Chains A and B, each alone.
Chain A
Amino acid sequence: MALRRRSRRTLPTMSRTPRSRRTVATVVVLVLVSLTVITVDQTGRTHDLTAGVRSVANDVFSPLRQAVDDVVRPLGDFFAGAVHYGALQRENENLRATVGRLDQQLAQRSFDVQQLRQLTTLEHLPFVGSLPTVPAQVTALDMSNFDADVAIDKGRDDGVTVGMPVVGSGGLVGVVVEASHTQATVQLVTDGQSRVGVTFGGRQASYATVAGEGPGQPLAALFVAPGTPLHRGEVMATNGLAGASFPPGIPVGRVASFSTPSGADQMTVRVDPAADLAHLTYVDVVQWQPTP
């Protein structure tokens, strides 16, 4: 009782003055507005509206971000180059060696690619090599600490729309999830929300779903039955089944490890992304839309 009397005398409680009531009302209103926006966005009924508002915001924000990047990045590169000169030289030499090896492989595989194109044409399957693409530059990487995504400098004005697959740097990069007039956001295959239907195993084709586990993490192949023939380094490529989100034949990743826990109804398969997602600079947006 004594404590209550003292606290009433000395502490200014929020609920007594009109100013305090106004403060509480403001906070409550703002929280309710936020919750309403979240609910409306989650139901998806106003997706077009929120996508439109975001598109306008990105149309305004992207040029500003690009301008700041154009000023800041050369300075950062200059200092990084001065500090890491030796490492850059070694990386340059490694890249030259890699380009040489890739040139050799390209020459060897041109015949295989030709044959594959002919076969897929016969099978009436869209092959990514024969689909139109829009080259784009990556302008920002992993913009949020919680999502694996990149921003590219091409948008609806260039024919890039939501749902289009993005390839580059050795395999599937991801899918366009937002597109404004001048830029687009690509959800990487490593994002926790990403799911890609894949096939593997050559003649005895098996199917699985490759799921993202977060930025920088390996992928997980789901629904692989115990006893499925599998080996490390095996390439998993998009399966292009009816209604799939991606055309067939795009490499998604390589099997890094696999095991079957006792009593489990599916194997635990870790997959390294085929594309080098940590060093993306240029990508191709494949102008392909899933068939409903």
Chain B
Amino acid sequence: MTPGAVVRLLAVVAGLLLLDQTVGLDLRVAGAHPELMWLLPVGAALAGGIRVGAVVGFLAGMAVDLVLPTPMGLSALVGCLLGAGVGRVVAGADHDAWWVAPVAGAAGTAAAVMLYAVLGAVLGQEQMLRVDLGAVVAVVAVVNALAARPVCRIMAWALGPAAASGRRRRARARRLVRP
């Protein structure tokens, strides 16, 4: 990753965290608000593959952990697994198809929210499983499905050459898989 990409990436992480913690908090449905930060590892995985997705997920999660009174490192762990998981699942998919980003955004972030709640409960935060988890998952998944394409484009811009090399690798992999 080039220094320019790192600066752009940090700016995107900070910007989306600000958006989450200002406008996002006012957009509540059934008591739940969107969590756009989970889209960063998804976008990074789609643009740059498993490794980039994991790194960006770790960074985005750590940023959340630093600002919110959540268990330190939990968001980083879930973000890392989300980025790696999405990168692995979509490895052979055609990323230019219009539905890939929204489906990956919705399914990936829904899984991440559930994993976050379960791991939080394991770490002694039992209240994470007492909240209306269905409402939280639904709100986060729907909003992230809608926001997935723009966020993925922003991530592709932020990652620059890393995203381009990831695209080339995936195109090569698709050629190998096709009969």
Q: A27-B51, A192-B128 are in contact. Are A68 and B22 (CB under 8 A)?
A: yes
Q: Which of A42, A53, A68, A145 contacts B71 (CB 8 A)?
A: A42
The yes or no answer to A284 lying at the interface (CB within 8 A) is: no
Give the secondary structure class of A's interface: helix
Contacts of A53 in B (CB 8 A): 66
Contacts of A37 in B (CB 8 A): 65, 72-73, 76
Contacts of A64 in B (CB 8 A): 14, 18
Q: Which of B18, B130, B173 contacts A192 (CB 8 A)?
A: B130
A147-B70 in contact (CB<8A): yes
The yes or no answer to B112 lying at the interface (CB within 8 A) is: no
How many residue pairs between the two chains, A and B, have CB atoms under 8 Å in the bound complex?
143
The yes or no answer to B117 lying at the interface (CB within 8 A) is: yes
Minimum Cβ distance to chain A for residue B40 (Å): 14
The yes or no answer to A107 lying at the interface (CB within 8 A) is: no
When C-beta atoms are compared, the residue in chain A nearest to B126 turns out to be A192
Tell me the A124-157 residues at the B interface (CB within 8 Å): 140-147, 149
Contacts of B77 in A (CB 8 A): 31, 34-35, 38
Q: A27-B54, A145-B136 are in contact. Are A38 and B72 (CB under 8 A)?
A: yes
A215 CA to B78 CA, complexed, in Å: 22
B22-A145 in contact (CB<8A): no
The yes or no answer to A33 lying at the interface (CB within 8 A) is: yes
Contacts of A10 in B (CB 8 A): 176-177, 179
Interface CB pairs A-B, < 8 A, 30: A26-B51, A27-B51, A30-B76, A30-B80, A33-B58, A33-B76, A34-B61, A34-B73, A36-B73, A37-B72, A38-B74, A54-B67, A57-B67, A61-B18, A61-B21, A69-B22, A72-B22, A73-B26, A140-B21, A143-B68, A144-B68, A145-B35, A146-B70, A147-B127, A185-B69, A192-B127, A193-B125, A214-B130, A216-B31, A217-B130
Beyond A31-B80, A212-B127, 19 extra complex contacts between A and B, CB < 8 Å: A19-B169, A22-B51, A26-B54, A34-B61, A50-B72, A54-B69, A61-B17, A76-B23, A145-B32, A145-B113, A145-B131, A145-B136, A146-B120, A146-B127, A146-B136, A191-B127, A192-B126, A192-B128, A215-B131
